[in-house]
Structure 1
Amino acid sequence: MHTETERCIRAVQSKDARFDGWFFTAVRTTGIYCRPSCPVVAPKPENMTFLPSAAACQQAGFRACKRCRPDATPGSPEWNHRADLVARAMRLIGDGVVDREGVPGLAVRLGYSTRQVERQLQAELGAGPLALARSQRAQTARLLIETTALPMAEIAFAAGFASIRTFNETVREVFALTPGELRTRAAGRRAEAAAPGVLSLRLPFRAPLNPDNLFGHLAATAVPGVEEWRDGAYRRTLRLPYGHGVVSLSPRPDHIACRLALTDQRDLTVAISRCRRMLDLDADPVAVDAQLSSDELLAPLVAKAPGRRVPRTVDEAEFAVRAVLGQQVSTAAARTHAGRLVLAHGDRIDDPEGGLTHLFPDPRTLAGLDPETLAMPRTRRATLLNLVRRLADGSLQLGVETDWNEARARLAALPGFGPWTIEVIAMRALGDPDAFLPGDLGVRKAAQGLGLPATPAALTARAAAWQPWRAYAVQYLWATDDHPINVLPV
């Protein structure tokens, strides 16, 4: 979008927050870059230049605006509805892969050469993977500086910097303030009081956001010991690269309140990225709802409760296992099966603030379990064990870097994986916004009630007009029922 100059100028002049994260405004006369909705007086059009990423702005020598804090915008929706090289690379960078494995590790995961990855990122985003990762480290550092009392040396290494000197130089260059000055400025505006060892953050999103089905689904399907709804917040355990954590997420009118307890602060960036992905916070609800509203039968549903998101996951392999456990059983039965698996094979953790007790078991652990201990039909046992063994040995990949259509093909080749299981994994684990469940009982019931075709083939044909947002259409169709997944718990 940053190449559409007139459109960008109109967004800046109207301070339209819908475009925050889509592009950044760099002002040549001040050397500062802003989000489109920056509250200061809009600069003259001839002094603006538009860039596709914060990293590109920083690489061009611009500093972040101290007023609108452009590095704290929602991420670009582009990385949500695309599965090409650049989109998959951005999801991996957001998951901290460059910090942990370097650019060569990023390229290996994507199946391209380092040179190809660098060239394509530079061409589309104006910055290579190192610059994009550096920009992310700066944002992580600022979060820790402003929301914790950690010593600066600990923050530097937790944010992924190789040295304190690099940390100091980067913070000064990006924010035009020293780390100490950033902390002083933030002293009067901390997000929320937090217990010792707990980080309290605000996760921004593009309005509107309807929390009912988003949090209702997560709460209604919560696996005992791993997830819970407590005191107006969805809480769950997180398995992370350097350790584990517990997150608490509460909907607010203009943000999601996030409280994170981590065993290793280096996991902060990854934890935030996975929580944002689970809550679909980088979606563009205006574009989604406009497309779905073009269907006269869906339009009333969208008008009644705009901004529905697709509830996703923090762990793709975990969700795939849970999808198999939920085949042809009720939500309550699926929770029971998953809870037994967690109790028998999950790693125990301590949760001083609530009732969380375990991490969901990883595929390597589950690959060695005795099938006779699984209280389910023999065919489903075989399906589950085949899945976890493929995940454990790496022959099946279900990460943020996964090509959606390739993953569908690999899942379809496994015994026991029909269209419903494949599409629900594509929707909630892989994040494909166009995943569709025409054979789902709830979808068919809703379609019939609205006067839409009720057979899978006919509904799929009608839903072609909803592309590329059919996963969101499913949320609106599901919401016509009184199932607990559609109600925000009290």
Structure 2
Amino acid sequence: MSSILEMKITEHIESNGNSGELQLKAHSAPIRGELSSAICREARLSRDPRFDGKFFVGVLTTGIYCRNVCPAVAPKEDNVRYFESQVKAAQAGLRPCLRCRPDSAPGSNPWKGTGTTLDRALGLIDAGLLCGEQALTVDELADKLGISGRYLNRLFSEGFGTSPKQYALYRQLLFAKQLLHQTQLPITQVALAAGFNSIRRFNEAFQQRLQLTPTQLRKASLKKAAKMDDIDITTEENCLSAMSSLSHGLTLYQYYRPPLDWSAQLAFYRLRAVAGMEWFTPLDKLNEGAGIMSDAAQHIACEGEAASLEYGRCIAIGKMRAVVQIAHEPSLHRFKLTVMLTADSPLEALQQFIIEVRRILDLDADMQLIEQNLQALSQLNLVPFSGLRIPGAGSLFEAVCRAILGQQVTVVQATKLLNQLVEAYGERFELNGREYRLFPTPETIRGASLSELKMPGARKLALNALAAFICDNADASVDDWLSVKGIGPWTIAYAKLRGLGDPNIFLHSDLIVKKRLLAHYLRHYDKDSVNTSGEDVLKTVDYPQLCQQLGRDIAPWGSYLTFQLWHQV
């Protein structure tokens, strides 16, 4: 687009202001219809990773269920049945495959972004509200959702064929299975990390639902790993020795459905990084002192420039203090997470930690479906950047602080303010001889002077007031923050976008988004047919109406349209 046209768009925005209310609409219709058996069959036979986790393959002759990417010999179609969730496959009496490990599949929540009661219930269950020592009853969970326990049970029965409690239990068991496969944590610690208070209860539930004991699963995983290193684990003593020799820290692999543009995601993080809280490590530095990179590192590094960097950051969840190194393995459609915890970190927060990392990386997004919806926006004729996801912030409070500090300044200026905030008020902790920083808590910011920050006093007061409101109103929703002076719709929307991973935040009141939308609209507009100039077309645009229609058409993927437009700058 010519610079003259860009200037016209800028003038139009400045003269008309940011008119129109922010549209945060949810789709009342289903996000996607059920996949047909024919599509499932093709995805299974081709092992298409874009369908990983969107359905599961039950093999009736063996009594197991698999991911569609399972490397085992494909069974005959007459012997399989397709399930939309792992829970439904388990309800049919099938156990998870030990080879493709369905517990490692990307998540697929067809209700996400709809704002429905079931969507909110799943979010609370994922946060661990039905497990652990402080577990709620089903009626207490229903009360939080503003419905009856009977209605909540009906929603889960219709959606998953089971109760909320059984759904939560199966999620716990699948996480435990993942830890048994991928880590050398003792079984007692695995049970604790999965939210079980009793090792006896854990063993009983594991054997009953997964049809083998945790010990049997652990030994099978060790045997498979030991074969690669020629380790004898026929005795318990040698088994423990094998665990020691195979242990290189707490490592977990998190899968996604392609495409994923890691270069773009890294660039977004690097431009906004906070020293001591986030860092970027070249892969060739990981084996510094060894002289050469490992074979795995060489394999990953050759697959692209983005794969040559690891992203690291600190995350706090309750009393847990964690450091995570994130390395992309694109050929396997997964990330390798190396997690380090302080000695006093409670293991029961580990599952929530992994959920947060998946949110930060947006690993459960169905990019194939999202990009199809973006291409279908006839008003824009948009050709989306493939694999562009939502780069999340470390927490909801971090996201809203980033939004407040970023008002009416450049990204570089906002990042400088953010670094000053963390330097002055962030908690510090040591791990393996290195000092790390955490983002400040609301409790710290509510009474902070913020004198280090060179910005308007009203904005400082807004930070103090919001932090105080969060501390005093623990059960308040994000939308309730609008009652705080200085907190507006744009700030709330940005917080939901990067702090909650809400997929349906169409930030059309943002100046950059508005500028890019109008540019796309003009490109699509056939000026010759009406014999008018681009400037005249801009005068006739009803921007609020245009955005209202776009909001309806793109729902529930408005956040991805926002990032597509931001990415064009």
TM-score range for the pair, normalised by the shorter chain length: 0.7 to 0.9
2:251, 2:174 → 1: CA distance? 15
Q: Confirm whether residue 268 of structure 1 aligns to residue 301 of structure 2.
A: no
The equivalent residue for 1:402 is none
Runs of 4+ residues over 6 Å off in structure 1 = 193-197
The residue type paired with residue 181 of structure 2 is E
1:115-194 matched pairs, under 5 angstroms: 115-187=150-222, 188-189=224-225
The equivalent residue for 1:72 is 104
| Residues 63 and 267 of structure 1, relative CA distance in 2, 3 Å threshold | same
> 1:276 offset after TM fit, Å?
0.6
> 1:85 offset after TM fit, Å?
1.3
| Residues 289 and 194 of structure 1, relative CA distance in 2, 3 Å threshold | farther
1:173, 1:250 → 2: CA distance? 36
> 1:435 offset after TM fit, Å?
1.0
Q: Is the 8 A contact 2:57 2:80 kept in 1?
A: yes
The equivalent residue for 2:410 is 330
| Partner secondary structure for residue 239 of structure 1 | strand
Q: Confirm whether residue 278 of structure 1 aligns to residue 360 of structure 2.
A: yes
2:248, 2:317 → 1: CA distance? 17
List runs of 5+ in structure 2 lacking aligned partners. 1-32, 229-243, 283-308, 524-536
List runs of 5+ in structure 1 lacking aligned partners. 399-406, 482-490
Residues 153-197 of structure 1: CA deviation (Å, up to 9, x unaligned): 222222222322333334444544433333333335599x99978
2:348, 2:511 → 1: CA distance? 43
1:301, 1:98 → 2: CA distance? 43
> 1:378 offset after TM fit, Å?
1.6
Q: Percent identity?
A: 33
Residues 341-383 of structure 1: CA deviation (Å, up to 9, x unaligned): 22332222114386x6222122122222236565421211222
| Residues 430 and 459 of structure 1, relative CA distance in 2, 3 Å threshold | farther
| Partner secondary structure for residue 99 of structure 1 | coil
Residues 183-238 of structure 1: CA deviation (Å, up to 9, x unaligned): 333335599x9997831111100111111332222222122232222331221111
1:199-348 matched pairs, under 5 angstroms: 199-231=250-282, 232-253=309-330, 254-262=333-341, 263-295=345-377, 301-302=383-384, 305-348=385-428
2:167, 2:131 → 1: CA distance? 11
| Partner secondary structure for residue 139 of structure 1 | helix
> 1:306 offset after TM fit, Å?
0.9
Of the candidates 249, 253, 265, which is equivalent to residue 198 of structure 1?
Answer: 249
Q: Is the 8 A contact 1:438 1:459 kept in 2?
A: no
| Partner secondary structure for residue 329 of structure 1 | coil
The residue type paired with residue 565 of structure 2 is L
2:363, 2:35 → 1: CA distance? 24
The equivalent residue for 1:394 is 473
1:123, 1:308 → 2: CA distance? 33
The residue type paired with residue 204 of structure 2 is E
2:208, 2:155 → 1: CA distance? 26
| Partner secondary structure for residue 311 of structure 1 | coil
Instruction: Name which one, 1 or 2, has greater alpha-carbon Rg.
Output: 2
Q: Confirm whether residue 102 of structure 1 aligns to residue 135 of structure 2.
A: yes
The equivalent residue for 1:61 is 93
Q: Is the 8 A contact 2:374 2:382 kept in 1?
A: no
Q: Confirm whether residue 476 of structure 1 aligns to residue 476 of structure 2.
A: no
2:225, 2:322 → 1: CA distance? 25
> 1:287 offset after TM fit, Å?
0.7
Q: Is the 8 A contact 1:350 1:357 kept in 2?
A: yes
- Compute the RMSD of aligned alpha carbons: 3.1
The equivalent residue for 2:61 is 29
Residues 235-277 of structure 1: CA deviation (Å, up to 9, x unaligned): 1111113422111222221111211112332222111101111
Q: Is the 8 A contact 2:420 2:452 kept in 1?
A: no
| Residues 220 and 102 of structure 1, relative CA distance in 2, 3 Å threshold | same
The residue type paired with residue 468 of structure 1 is P
TM-score w.r.t. length of structure 2: 0.74
> 1:281 offset after TM fit, Å?
0.7
1:39, 1:107 → 2: CA distance? 41
Q: Confirm whether residue 428 of structure 1 aligns to residue 498 of structure 2.
A: yes
Q: Greater relative contact order (Cα 8 A, min sep 6): structure 1 or 2?
A: 2
The residue type paired with residue 388 of structure 1 is A
1:179, 1:412 → 2: CA distance? 48
Q: Is the 8 A contact 2:103 2:177 kept in 1?
A: no
Q: Confirm whether residue 362 of structure 1 aligns to residue 450 of structure 2.
A: no
| Residues 116 and 226 of structure 1, relative CA distance in 2, 3 Å threshold | farther
| Residues 327 and 194 of structure 1, relative CA distance in 2, 3 Å threshold | farther
The residue type paired with residue 544 of structure 2 is A
| Partner secondary structure for residue 102 of structure 1 | coil
The residue type paired with residue 181 of structure 1 is Q
Q: Is the 8 A contact 1:321 1:387 kept in 2?
A: no
1:178, 1:411 → 2: CA distance? 47
2:321, 2:256 → 1: CA distance? 25
> 1:283 offset after TM fit, Å?
0.7
1:87, 1:194 → 2: CA distance? 43
Q: Is the 8 A contact 1:210 1:308 kept in 2?
A: yes
